[in-house]
Amino acid sequence: MGFIVIIPARLASTRLPNKPLADLGGKPMVVRVAERAALSGAERVVVATDHLDIAAACAAHGVEAFMTRSDHPSGTDRIAEVARALELDDDAVVVNLQGDEPLIDPSLLAACAARIAADVPMATCAHPLLDASDCFNPNVVKVVLDKNGRALYFSRATIPWHRDAFAQSKDVLPDGYAPLRHIGLYAYSNGFLQAYPGLQAAPIEEAEALEQLRVLWHGYPIAVHITSSAPAAGVDTPEDLERVQKHFAAE
């Protein structure tokens, strides 16, 4: 099944102003992200932005960009506007790739998109956690699955809780226990993507500050593709930016 990638990119950032336009080896970050997405086999890659400077940077490097409203509450709402403007069929598959992932593995996008089915309107990714500190870190989001590889719940808490082992120690993970860390990459059927902005916010979503819980709360399944290891980290801090700039400088 074919898919398209839409990359939401806003200029405003509290920690890294102008992040999408940060220089990575002579190209803006958002362009680097689009280039990675193009390697995934996507039929089309579009940047969704509310700022003319980002649109101009994309145009200068041959990347398709679409101007959106500036008042969207989330990136999901932003890409829904673009998908609607592109007049995609309801069964078209849209991958939501954040604009600060210039080192994303392109195959992960294709694998996520492949999990969309007639009865599964949304998919995401996860990988096993092998470090105890990550398991107990509320900034590391965990997910538990059912037997069919669909999400039962996402949480900042340590799930599943290993009752017996953690009663003894939380410094070392017990053998055979590897919680899954959620990776913030999503795919949707366009029909569901258009319905999503109209879904009521969920109490569990607000408690955990995790937008994907709204989907589960309303009864929609989310398929989860498991990859063996963590993908390259995105860019959230000045330290992240320096790390990624060194990577592209070495190419």
pLDDT tens digits, one per residue of 83-116: 999 999 999 999 999 999 999 999 999 999 999 9
Contact between 47 and 41 under an 8 Å Cβ cutoff? The reply is: no
Taking residues 28-48, report their average pLDDT.
97
| Amino acid 13: pLDDT | 66
Mind listing the domains of the chain with CATH numbers?
3-229 (3.90.550.10)
User: 104: buried, middle or exposed (CB in 10 Å: 19+, 13-18, 0-12)?
Assistant: buried
Provide the whole-model pTM: 0.93
- How many CA atoms within 13 Å lie on the side-chain side of 90? 7
E-state strands within the chain: 3-9, 23-24, 27-28, 44-49, 64-67, 93-96, 122-128, 142-145, 151-155, 180-189, 222-226
What is the Cα–Cα distance from 222 to 74, expressed in whole angstroms?
A: 19
Query: DSSP per residue over 83-137, as a string?
Result: HHHTT--TT-EEEE--TT-TT--HHHHHHHHTT-BTTB-EEEEEEE---HHHHT-
User: 202: buried, middle or exposed (CB in 10 Å: 19+, 13-18, 0-12)?
Assistant: middle
What percent of the chain stands above pLDDT 70? 99
Is pLDDT above 80 for 235? yes
Taking residues 125-154, report their average pLDDT.
96
B/e letters for 23-56, b = 16+ CB within 10 Å, e = fewer, are ebeebbbbbbbbbbbeebebeebbbbbbbeebbe
At residue 11 the predicted structure's pLDDT band, cuts being 50, 70 and 90, is confident
What percent of the chain stands above pLDDT 90? 86
The per-residue pLDDT of the chain, averaged, comes to: 94
Contact between 33 and 45 under an 8 Å Cβ cutoff? The reply is: no
- Which helix (H) or strand (E) element contains residue 68? none
Beta-carbon contacts of 207 under 8 Å, excluding residues fewer than 6 positions away, are none
Taking residues 3-10, report their average pLDDT.
95
| Amino acid 14: pLDDT | 65
